[in-house]
Amino acid sequence: MTTAARRPATLDDVARAAGVSRSTASRVLAGNGFASSTARERVRTAVSLLGYVPNAAARALVHGSGVRLLVAVAGTGPAVLDDPYVDQAVAAVARACAPHGLGVAVQWVPVDAPERLTRLTDDRGVAGLVLLNTTTDLLDLVPRRLSGRTVSIGIGSATVPSVDIDNGGGTSAIVRHLYEAGRRRIAMVTGPRWLACANRSVRAYRRLLHDAGLPAREVVGDFSAARGHAAAREVLRRWPDTDAIVGISDATALGVIGRLRADGVRVPDDVAVTGFDDIPLAATVALTTASHPVRQIINTAATMVLEERAAPATTVFPSTLVLRESA
Amino acid sequence: MTTAARRPATLDDVARAAGVSRSTASRVLAGNGFASSTARERVRTAVSLLGYVPNAAARALVHGSGVRLLVAVAGTGPAVLDDPYVDQAVAAVARACAPHGLGVAVQWVPVDAPERLTRLTDDRGVAGLVLLNTTTDLLDLVPRRLSGRTVSIGIGSATVPSVDIDNGGGTSAIVRHLYEAGRRRIAMVTGPRWLACANRSVRAYRRLLHDAGLPAREVVGDFSAARGHAAAREVLRRWPDTDAIVGISDATALGVIGRLRADGVRVPDDVAVTGFDDIPLAATVALTTASHPVRQIINTAATMVLEERAAPATTVFPSTLVLRESA
DNA sequence: GATTGTGGTGGCAGCGCTCCCAGGTGTGTG
DNA sequence: CACACACCTGGGAGCGCTGCCACCACAATC
């Protein structure tokens, strides 16, 4: 037990140790205002000697700036938070925040009651906002206090910047690949209708089939493996001659494959299956999918919020087709 | 744009609206101290009318209590944070924190320089500590300021409470199952040596093999699918007659299966494979594994930290054998 | 010698909150 | 009727920090 009952040092301690006033110490640390080189030096040594770490709460209090980022996830129920994608986003944001002395919180916002966001942002503790599964409603509810401190992962607006994936392009590439591989009866397990990014995928799918003179075969899913599992059966019940199933996500595709295999349907021989995202496990089960630099996307978002260089603009990350055995 | 440039309400606003003093309003909200039922009522309506949310920073400042939980993850490099398990833990803690107005931060602590933890805990902003991949060194470095506000996920100590998985029991059940299914040449892809929970699994594996008069066949892994992938080949190179491989984690097992199948080895016919944890995808690929209520475990840990009812004791969660086709 | 800088410094208010304490207003008891 | 003893309330200090402002010394200028 090397740790004494030592009280973390305050700026007063530092100032005293350096033989200057608190104001001077503060000025040195802030780096603005005047300070002689000797004062600067003495304060710096005192800081490292005492292991001084500024009190984020006090700083936030005087600046009125808040003390954590809020990851707000729109969804139909609190279960949206039970999602590895959300986990990943939260963790990535947390990692980016740590050096800034900020924390992260996650909250769910009902799709059909977006105004609940206001209750969350009324908390002065919220220093910034990361929007997930963003809807246009939500974008309009971002308070002015947090503009320039908000990034949407997905769609953006004139006031809210965003980082996004080229869902349309990715899905087009997948469907085109299936078509070129000779598949003609291509079904899709979609995402929830209210979700913009899912809709872009669905629209791309429809467009391509339409242009090829083929009918669309859609079953609504929700990104989950469990739903994919159920949806696979529904697809084959409604359109037994289906020879390819496009999953809105890798999890969906994995669920689909699980069901098909269990039902004795061969993948890809009888039915080709594709995913979307290229999660680590996709490689393991040889899933054809579209790859996105998810980590990089989330980091970009987190950085934008933290650096406050969040000019209202959309950064779109490309989608790369990854060919594996499942299609 | 329904949001005016409205300044979030302060306790002063509430008090003024309710026609009482700030002290009274504070007392009502804290729920301690005296307050007439009329005062109570008026304050409450004012609160909901103004949408008042207490300022966590101010509260933390006066209490000296910090404003976020720190999830400290021990590992050999910052890459430990690139782990879905960590993501899940961070996100779960974040979810548990949100209602308390707390945020979460994650930081990595080098296994061979645990004293770095001190630098992290010197930050007054840290209200509590969740230790992951805990080592005994780390446990000794928890400052007194945070005792009762610290939970270790994994091993604990006389002063630090912990929530843990019965790794030994789970692994025993798995190995026993393999043995009873007639497997006699059972290999294991282990975890890193410095990790207590991994060692418990390894010891259980050795014990059972030893008792059965069988030799251990161990290859060191690191929980990752990629390492499992490589380790599978190493196992079969060193012990070509291996008829079962025990993975330290599901990811490891999935990597192993991927490699085996790619090499034309039939699973489970030629080699049975087992995992550990029962991640969602385990069901999809029909992996025999040991199931743990991970979510519940992490929530328990988060709750313990938040409620400060963290008496130094270890809560061990059981491990349940889940039989699927892979073994 | 009086003025106007200029680089450097410390005093002090105040961010929003909690909590102690002094000071009320009622009721019950000696 | 005085007193104790509830219950209830507001004043005010102070948590650690920032940033404004006043101040000081010293130099350059009129």
Integer-rounded Cα Rg, in Å, for chain B is 25
Closest Cα partner for B244 from B313, B180, B186, B287?
A: B186
pLDDT value, residue A295: 86
Closest Cα partner for A205 from A194, A191, A216, A220?
A: A216
Nucleotides on strand C with an atom closer than 7 A to protein CB? 7-12, 14-20
- Average confidence (pLDDT) over A14-31: 90
Q: Quick check: A104 and B105 CB within 8 A?
A: yes
DSSP state of B312: S
pLDDT value, residue A259: 92
- Identify the residue among A50, A90, A305 best suited for mutation to test binding to B, counting B beta carbons within 10 A and taking the highest: A90
Q: Which residue is nearest to the C1' sugar atom of C9, using CA?
A: A24
For B135-191, the pLDDT digits (tens) are 999 999 999 888 888 999 999 898 899 999 999 999 999 999 999 999 999 999 999
Q: Quick check: B141 and A2 CB within 8 A?
A: yes
pLDDT value, residue A270: 95
**How many angstroms is C1' of C4 away from CA of A274?**
77
| CA–CA–CA angle A77, A78, A82 (5° rounding) | 115
- Identify the residue among B47, B55, B261 best suited for mutation to test binding to A, counting A beta carbons within 10 A and taking the highest: B55
Percent over 90 (pLDDT), chain B: 68
pLDDT value, residue A6: 64
Say which nucleotide is closest to residue A24, CA to C1' distance: C9
- A241 vs A119 pLDDT, higher one: A241
pLDDT value, residue A179: 96
- Identify the residue among B65, B100, B106 best suited for mutation to test binding to A, counting A beta carbons within 10 A and taking the highest: B106
DSSP state of A154: S
In Å, how far are A275, A306, B56, B90, B231 from A95, measured between CA atoms?
28, 12, 21, 10, 30
Closest residue in A to B49 (Cα) is: A119
Confidence of residue A3 (pLDDT cuts 50, 70, 90): very low
Per the CB < 8 A criterion, the answer to whether B308 and B149 are in contact is yes
Question: Which of A125, A141, A144 comes nearest B5 by C-beta?
Answer: A144
Q: Is pLDDT at A215 greater than 50 in this prediction?
A: yes
Question: Which of A92, A103, A281 comes nearest B67 by C-beta?
Answer: A103
pLDDT value, residue A169: 96
List the end-to-end C-alpha distance of chain B, in Å, as a whole number: 58
- Average confidence (pLDDT) over B234-254: 95
- Average confidence (pLDDT) over A300-323: 85
pLDDT value, residue A101: 86
Closest Cα partner for B84 from A276, A84, A103?
A: A84
- What's the sign of the alpha-carbon dihedral B143, B94, B106, B86? positive
Percent over 70 (pLDDT), chain A: 97
pLDDT value, residue A7: 77
Q: Is pLDDT at B4 greater than 50 in this prediction?
A: no
In Å, how far are A65, A69, A294, B5, B84 from A91, measured between CA atoms?
22, 12, 12, 31, 9
pLDDT value, residue B178: 96
pLDDT value, residue A1: 37
Question: Considering only CB atoms, which chain A residues are within 8 Å of B123?
Answer: 8, 53, 56, 101
Q: Is pLDDT at B235 greater than 90 in this prediction?
A: yes
In chain B, CATH 3.40.50.2300 covers 68-165+295-318, 167-291
Per the CB < 8 A criterion, the answer to whether B254 and B278 are in contact is no
Q: Which CATH number does the domain A68-160 belong to among 3.40.50.2300, 3.40.50.150, 3.40.50.1010, 3.30.2270.10?
A: 3.40.50.2300
Token pair 């270790």: residue: B152
pLDDT value, residue A105: 95
Closest residue in B to A97 (Cα) is: B105
Per the CB < 8 A criterion, the answer to whether B55 and B10 are in contact is yes
- What residues have CB less than 8 Å from B277, skipping those under 6 apart? B249, B250, B289, B290, B291, B292, B294
pLDDT value, residue B201: 96
Q: Which CATH number does the domain B68-165+295-318 belong to among 3.40.50.2300, 3.40.50.1000, 3.40.50.300, 3.40.640.10?
A: 3.40.50.2300
Of A305-314, B63-72, B86-95, the range with the lowest mean pLDDT is A305-314
Give chain A's mean pLDDT: 91
Q: Quick check: B90 and A88 CB within 8 A?
A: no
Q: Is pLDDT at B83 greater than 50 in this prediction?
A: yes
For A69-103, the pLDDT digits (tens) are 999 999 999 998 988 889 999 999 999 988 888 99
User: Using CB atoms within 10 A of its CB, is residue A200 exposed (0-12), middle (13-18) or buried (19+)?
Assistant: buried
**How many angstroms is C1' of C19 away from CA of B36?**
18
Token pair 């207490």: residue: B54
pLDDT value, residue A308: 63
Kindly report the nearest CA distance between residue B65 and chain A, in angstroms.
9
Confidence of residue A285 (pLDDT cuts 50, 70, 90): confident
Token pair 């944890």: residue: B277
**Taking the domain B167-291, which CATH number applies?**
3.40.50.2300
pLDDT value, residue B148: 84
Question: Considering only CB atoms, which chain B residues are within 8 Å of A109?
Answer: none
Q: How far apart are CA B278 and CA B292, in angstroms?
A: 7
Q: Is pLDDT at B1 greater than 50 in this prediction?
A: no
In chain A, CATH 3.40.50.2300 covers 68-160, 167-291
Instruction: Find the Cα–Cα–Cα–Cα dihedral B299, B300, B305, B307, rounded to 10°.
Output: 100
Range list of H helices, chain A: 11-18, 22-30, 37-50, 56-63, 84-97, 116-121, 136-140, 167-180, 196-211, 225-238, 250-262, 280-284, 294-307
Q: Which residue is nearest to the C1' sugar atom of C15, using CA?
A: A62
| CA–CA–CA angle B301, B56, B92 (5° rounding) | 25
At A63, the amino acid letter reads H
Superfamily assignment of A11-54 in CATH?
lambda repressor-like DNA-binding domains (1.10.260.40)
In chain A, CATH 1.10.260.40 covers 11-54
pLDDT value, residue A30: 86
